[in-house]
C-alpha cells in the first residue's frame, strides 16, 4: 500500500511544536488496545485532548476550522508509555540529559516515560521529584515523570520518604537495579506503600549468585569464559519478594522478568490473587545469549541475555497477557564505558527510539496481533501508573502517533538522538516508522 507521508529524516524534525485549535486525523487505521478496536476511523483533537473518535469510514462533520490530516490509511495509536528509563540528569549529563532523552522518546513515539531514581543525587525526597517535573515542563516536549527511590540513596538500609514523594508526584517506587537484600526493609516498604495504594517495583535478582556475573550460566558462557548466573536465581529472588507481597497485600511490579523459571512463580502469584504485575525489557524479547557473539558489549545487559527458550517463553507470556508491561530499559552508556572487555563493560542499552519498531517486528515475526503487543506499552502501564493517557477515547490526553507500520528502515548511528549511542539495534533493519508524534495535541515530530 502506498504511503503518503514521509518520515522525518533528521533531528531537526524532532521538537517542532505547532499549536492548533483543532486537528482531525482522517482516513486512518485506529489501533486502540484500551477499547480493543483495530479498524478504520478518525480522531479529532482540540485543546490538548481527544474531542471525538469516529469508528468506520465516515468523515468527521460539524467541526469548523479544523486542520485536516489525511493519514493515508496509516496507523493512529496512543502514544507509548515507557515505565523504565534511565537518564544521566542529574549528575551524569554527558551520558544523557532529560532533553536528549525526551527528543529520542518523541522520535520513537514514546509520549510519556518514567525516570528511574538512581541518579546523582538520588530521587529519594520530594524536592528531587519536583526537580524532575519542573525540568520536564521547561523542556515541553514529552511527559516525563519520576519514580521515587524505595530506600534512601537506593542503598536498601532505610525506607525513603515514600508518602511525601507520592504527594509530590512520583508515580511508583523502586531502587532500580539495586536489590533490597534485607527482607525486613522490603517488607516495611511494601506495608507502608500499601497504606496509600502505591506501586512498588523490585528487581528479581538474587544478589549473591548474581555478584560478578555478566552472562547466563550454561554452555555459551562457559565457552566464552564469562562469569555466569543461573537462570534459577531469578525465581529464587521472586519467591522471596512474592512471599512478602502476600504478607503485606501491596501492589507490586516484578521489574524485568527474563526467565521461564520466573514465569512459573509469576503465574502462581497471579493465580493466588496477589496484586502483581510484571515487566519485561524489549531486549529480552528480541535477543538471546547467542547475540553476544564476539563479545559485543552493546549486548552486555542486566539481566544478562538468556537462552533462546527463555526468550520464546517471554514472547509467549506477553502474547498471553501473563506479562503486563514492556519497557525499553533505556540505559545510556558513553562509549568509554562500552569500549572495554565484555566483563568490564557497563551493562545497559538505549531503547527509546527502537521500542515501537521492535514491537512491530515481534508482531510480524510471531504472528501476534499488534493490538495485544501495544497494550503492554499503552493502556496497561497507564492503568498501573494512574495516568489518563494510553487510549484513544473522548476526553483522554491528545498523546498519539501516526505510524507507517509497513515501512522498513535501518537504524544508523547518525539517526540516534540520545547522547549515548549504545544501541543493540544499530545497523539492523527495523520496521515501522513514526511519521508524527503529538503530545497534548501539539505536533512534536513530523510536519
Cβ neighbours of residue 409 under 8 Å, at least 6 residues apart?
7, 357, 429, 430, 431, 433
pLDDT at 2 over 90: no
pTM: 0.94
Residues 82-140: tens digit of each pLDDT: 999 999 999 999 999 999 999 999 999 999 999 999 999 999 999 999 999 999 999 99
- CA 405 – CA 434 distance, rounded (Å): 8
Question: In 3-state terms, what secondary structure has residue 143?
Answer: strand
Name the residue among 291, 292, 428 with its Cα closest to residue 354. Answer: 428
* Across 299-324, average pLDDT: 97
Upper half-sphere CA count for residue 298 (Cβ side, 13 Å):
13
Cβ neighbours of residue 369 under 8 Å, at least 6 residues apart?
38, 363
Sort residue 395 into left (φ over 0), alpha (ψ -120 to 50) or beta. Answer: left
Name the residue among 16, 125, 104, 54 with its Cα closest to residue 394. Answer: 54
Question: What is the structure's pLDDT at 20?
Answer: 52
Confidence of residue 64 (pLDDT cuts 50, 70, 90): low
pLDDT at 15 over 60: no
Bridge partners, 43 (sequence order): 25, 53
Task: State how far the alpha carbon of 61 is from the alpha carbons of 25, 53, 69, in Å.
Answer: 13, 12, 14
Q: 11-77+395-445 and 78-385 share one CATH topology?
A: no
* Across 130-151, average pLDDT: 97
For residue 383, the tally of other CB atoms under 10 A from its CB is 17
Domain 11-77+395-445 sits in CATH at 2.30.40.10
Bridge partners, 113 (sequence order): 82, 144
pLDDT at 364 over 80: yes
Q: Which helix (H) or strand (E) element contains residue 373?
A: helix 370-375
* Across 255-284, average pLDDT: 97
Name the residue among 31, 11, 16 with its Cα closest to residue 405. Answer: 31
pLDDT at 321 over 70: yes
Instruction: Give 156-198 as a DSSP string.
Output: SSSB--HHHHHHHT---B--TT-----HHHHHHHHHHHHTTT-
* Across 157-169, average pLDDT: 97
Task: State how far the alpha carbon of 138 is from the alpha carbons of 94, 112, 363, 387, in Å.
Answer: 19, 15, 36, 21
Question: What is the structure's pLDDT at 59?
Answer: 76
- CA 33 – CA 28 distance, rounded (Å): 16
For residue 96, the tally of other CB atoms under 10 A from its CB is 25
Q: CATH number for 78-385: choose from 3.20.20.140, 2.40.30.30, 3.40.50.150, 3.40.640.10.
A: 3.20.20.140
Confidence of residue 376 (pLDDT cuts 50, 70, 90): very high
Where along the chain do its domains lie?
A: 11-77+395-445, 78-385
Question: What is the structure's pLDDT at 352?
Answer: 98
Q: What is the mean pLDDT of the chain?
A: 94
Question: In 3-state terms, what secondary structure has residue 145?
Answer: strand
* Cell numbers representing residue 73 in the block: 490509511
pLDDT at 212 over 90: yes
* Cell numbers representing residue 102 in the block: 525526551
pLDDT at 12 over 50: no
Amino acid at each position: 500500500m502506498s504511503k503518503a507521508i514521509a518520515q522525518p529524516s533528521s533531528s531537526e524534525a524532532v521538537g517542532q511544536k505547532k499549536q492548533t485549535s483543532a486537528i482531525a486525523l482522517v482516513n486512518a487505521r485506529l489501533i486502540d488496545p484500551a477499547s480493543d478496536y483495530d479498524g478504520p476511523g478518525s480522531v479529532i483533537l482540540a485543546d490538548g485532548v481527544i474531542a471525538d473518535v469516529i469508528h468506520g469510514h465516515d468523515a468527521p462533520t460539524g467541526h469548523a476550522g479544523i486542520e485536516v490530516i489525511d493519514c493515508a490509511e496509516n496507523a493512529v495509536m496512543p502514544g507509548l508509555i515507557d515505565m523504565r528509563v534511565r537518564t544521566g540528569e542529574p549528575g551524569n549529563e554527558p551520558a544523557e540529559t532529560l532533553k536528549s532523552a525526551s527528543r529520542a522518546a518523541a522520535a520513537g513515539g514514546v509520549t510519556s516515560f518514567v525516570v528511574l531514581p538512581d541518579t546523582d543525587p538520588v530521587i529519594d525526597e520530594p524536592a528531587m521529584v519536583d526537580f524532575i517535573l519542573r525540568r520536564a515542563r521547561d523542556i515541553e516536549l514529552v511527559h516525563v515523570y519520576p519514580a521515587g527511590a524505595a530506600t534512601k540513596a537506593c542503598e536498601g538500609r532505610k525506607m525513603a520518604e515514600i508518602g511525601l514523594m507520592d504527594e509530590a508526584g512520583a508515580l511508583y517506587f523502586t531502587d532500580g537495579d539495586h536489590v533490597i537484600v534485607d527482607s525486613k526493609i522490603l517488607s516495611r516498604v511494601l506495608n507502608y506503600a500499601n497504606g496509600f495504594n502505591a506501586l512498588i517495583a523490585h528487581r528479581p535478582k538474587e544478589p549473591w549468585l548474581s555478584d560478578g556475573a555478566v552472562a547466563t550460566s550454561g554452555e555459551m558462557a562457559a565457552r566464552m569464559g564469562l562469569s555466569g548466573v543461573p537462570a534459577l536465581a531469578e525465581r529464587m529472588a521472586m519467591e522471596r519478594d512474592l512471599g512478602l507481597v502476600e504478607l503485606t497485600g501491596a501492589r507490586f511490579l516484578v521489574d524485568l522478568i527474563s526467565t521461564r523459571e520466573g514465569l512459573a512463580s509469576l503465574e502462581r502469584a497471579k493465580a493466588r490473587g496477589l496484586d502483581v504485575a510484571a515487566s519485561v525489557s524489549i531486549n529480552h524479547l528480541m535477543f538471546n545469549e547467542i547475540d553476544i557473539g564476539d563479545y559485543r558489549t552493546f549486548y552486555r545487559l542486566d539481566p544478562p541475555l538468556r537462552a533462546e527458550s527463555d526468550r520464546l517463553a517471554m514472547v509467549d507470556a506477553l502474547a498471553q497477557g501473563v506479562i503486563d508491561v514492556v519497557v525499553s530499559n533505556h540505559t545510556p552508556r558513553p562509549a568509554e564505558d562500552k569500549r572495554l572487555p565484555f566483563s568490564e563493560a557497563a551493562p545497559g542499552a538505549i531503547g527509546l527510539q527502537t521500542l515501537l519498531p521492535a514491537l512491530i517486528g515481534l508482531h510480524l515475526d510471531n504472528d501476534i496481533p499488534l493490538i495485544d503487543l501495544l497494550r503492554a506499552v499503552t493502556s496497561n502501564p497507564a492503568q498501573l501508573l494512574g495516568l489518563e493517557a494510553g487510549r484513544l477515547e473522548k476526553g483522554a490526553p491528545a498523546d498519539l502517533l501516526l505510524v507507517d507500520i509497513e515501512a522498513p528502515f535501518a537504524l544508523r548511528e547518525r539517526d540516534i538522538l540520545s547522547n549515548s549511542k549504545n544501541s543493540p539495534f544499530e545497523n539492523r533493519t527495523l520496521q515501522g516508522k513514526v511519521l508524527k508524534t503529538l503530545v497534548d495535541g501539539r505536533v512534536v515530530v513530523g510536519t
